[in-house]
Amino acid sequence: MALSGLDIYKHLPKTNCKKCGCATCLAFAMALAAKKTSLDKCPDITEAAKQILDSASLPPMATITIGSGTKKIDVGGETVMFRHDKTFYHPTAIAVSISDNETNIQDKIEKIKKLNFDRVGMMVGVDLIALKNDSNNVNKFASVSKELSDKTELPLILLSDNPQAIDEALKNISNKRPLIYSANSKNYEQMSDIAKKHTVPLCICGKDVEELSDLSQKITARGVKDIVLDSGAREVSKCIQDFTKIRRLALKKNFRALGFPTIGFAESVEDASAYITKYANILVTSMDKPEELLPLVTLRLNIYTDPQKPIMMEPKLYSIGTPNENSPFMVTTNFSLTFFTVSPEVENSKIPVWLLVCDAEGMSVLTAWAADKFNAEIIDSWMKKTDIASKVKHKKIIIPGYVSVMSGKLEELTGWEVLVGPKEAAGIPKYLKTVWK
């Protein structure tokens, strides 16, 4: 449990020495509870007290690093149940699984490399490769994991409940810091020793949340610190409920044994989507087609977008194609998705356009309009700033259909004729071809 100021105070030296910068030990305790200072500021704290207070000040869910080098990935470290409470930090890491019976590993790797997409100027895609020990053969598992490790920079998950297979594979690739899966009630002692020996993160698989937390305590007691959790559930309903329980117990009850990232397994786009929204920190799937992964990585990007920071475009006058003095003049807001929805449609129309992107604090058209960040005055000021009047001969503005109500005011302010465009970007090509003459 998180400690209160008074709980912390009990462990402090109570000398009021002021060396920490606070007037009294009690004030220091209060500042600690509010996470406004750190314990190392106290020069006289006893080792015993330090241990108690340190463990109480750990984040409720650990952040675990899988892999090494440029493609290593952090998972977990989440602090809230709902993205609007703050934000989600580490996007669900997506792993594509491969069988060690696979005959053409090279082809498979090439396929996985292509599961990487440009989205709003960012590359998003598959983060990990999960190798399954379907062969049940220790040497085969080790040799395929070595091959994967040599041929791709993506971090690995080694899936086998046979400790020998994991140990053998790690002999070659432990420096790549793969996640090993999994420790269960039968093998956890050996698996813990292997994880410690090779300093790699260890995934625990229980038969339910209760056994999972029990195993987690035992494994932590054996000195393993980097842990990933699997409640053992495979049905989507059970998984969603277990992920929710684990996340709540970690975040709201500060229950240490479950304060680690989770892993989920999905074989359909609908199950995978459910796990991305509800609390899988790692997702393993055998789906490996671009059309399957594209919606998943896009959904993940949405869920993990910081709700406090809209993605913005630089507000300015954009030329799409090579517009001239007779080209249409359109306005929109600087929400990047608005821009990336509107601009391809303008391109589709094959008609060059002047597109004025106004500063609407990164909000979409309707939201910005509702918040009064996209109104006639703002459009007028951006028209002046970008000197559109010197670039076109006509005096016509096309505004988004959703904000047709501002037409009158905008005509009044600018003296330009306002044309109401379509509500949806998809209607732009037709609009430009038929209405704009």
Partner 1 sequence: MEQALEKWQGKIYELTIGATKDEGGTRSKKVKFGGINTLPFLHFEGIVPNPPLIAVEVWDTEPTEWPDVLKNEYKDVLNNPMQWAKKCEDFGADLICLRLASTDPDTINASAADASKTIKDVLSASSLPLMIIGCGNNEKNSSIIMDVAQTAKGENCLIGMAVKENYKTFTAAAQAGGHSLIAETPIDINLEKQLNILISDLGFGSDRIVIHPTTGGIGYGFEYCYTIIERTRLAALASDKMMSQPIVTFVGQETWKIKECKADETEKPEWGSIKDRGFLWEKATASAYLQAGSDILVMNHPKAVKDIKIHIQELMKK
Q: Give the residues lining the site for partner 1 (CB under 8 A).
A: 82-84, 114, 117, 119, 209-210, 213, 235-238, 240-241, 244-245, 248-249, 252-253, 255, 268-274, 276-278, 289-292, 294-296, 298-299, 301-303, 305, 307, 337, 341, 344, 364, 366-367, 370, 402, 423-424, 426
Give 179 or 257: the residue with its C-beta nearer to partner 1: 257
What tokens appear for 28 in the block? 């220091």
Whole-angstrom CA distances from 296 to 245, 247, 291, 344, 413 are: 23, 21, 9, 22, 45
Give 14 or 253: the residue with its C-beta nearer to partner 1: 253
Give 193 or 292: the residue with its C-beta nearer to partner 1: 292
Angle made by CA atoms 301, 307, 313, in degrees to the nearest 5: 75
Torsion angle of C-alpha atoms 281, 284, 285, 290, degrees rounded to 10: 60
Give 43 or 427: the residue with its C-beta nearer to partner 1: 427
CB of 206 to partner 1, least distance (A): 12
CB of 262 to partner 1, least distance (A): 14
Asked, as a colleague might, if the bond just before 381 is cis with ω within 30 of 0, I would say no
CB of 38 to partner 1, least distance (A): 29
CB of 336 to partner 1, least distance (A): 11
Residues near 409 by Cβ (< 8 Å), separated by ≥ 6?
375, 376
Residue 180 amino acid letter: I
Sign of the torsion formed by the C-alpha atoms of 238, 240, 244 and 250: positive
Q: How many Å separate Cα 308 from the centre of its chain?
A: 14
What tokens appear for 254 in the block? 């500060």
CB of 227 to partner 1, least distance (A): 18
- Residue 233: closest CA among 260, 213, 212: 212
Give 234 or 396: the residue with its C-beta nearer to partner 1: 234
Residues near 437 by Cβ (< 8 Å), separated by ≥ 6?
none
- Residue 358: closest CA among 340, 337, 331, 398: 331
CB of 149 to partner 1, least distance (A): 26
Angle made by CA atoms 24, 29, 34, in degrees to the nearest 5: 130
Give 41 or 113: the residue with its C-beta nearer to partner 1: 113
CB of 85 to partner 1, least distance (A): 10
Range list of β-strands (E), 311-410: 316-320, 329-333, 353-358, 396-399
CB of 292 to partner 1, least distance (A): 6
Give 174 or 333: the residue with its C-beta nearer to partner 1: 333
Whole-angstrom CA distances from 24 to 7, 97, 169, 378, 416 are: 15, 56, 55, 52, 67
CB of 304 to partner 1, least distance (A): 9
Give 245 or 385: the residue with its C-beta nearer to partner 1: 245
Query: Do 355 and 330 meet the contact criterion of CB atoms below 8 Å apart?
Result: yes
Helix, coil or strand: residue 362: coil
Give 250 or 383: the residue with its C-beta nearer to partner 1: 250
**Cross-strand pairs, 351:** none
Eight-state DSSP code of residue 12: S
Give 47 or 270: the residue with its C-beta nearer to partner 1: 270
Q: How many Å separate Cα 176 from the centre of its chain?
A: 22
CB of 49 to partner 1, least distance (A): 26
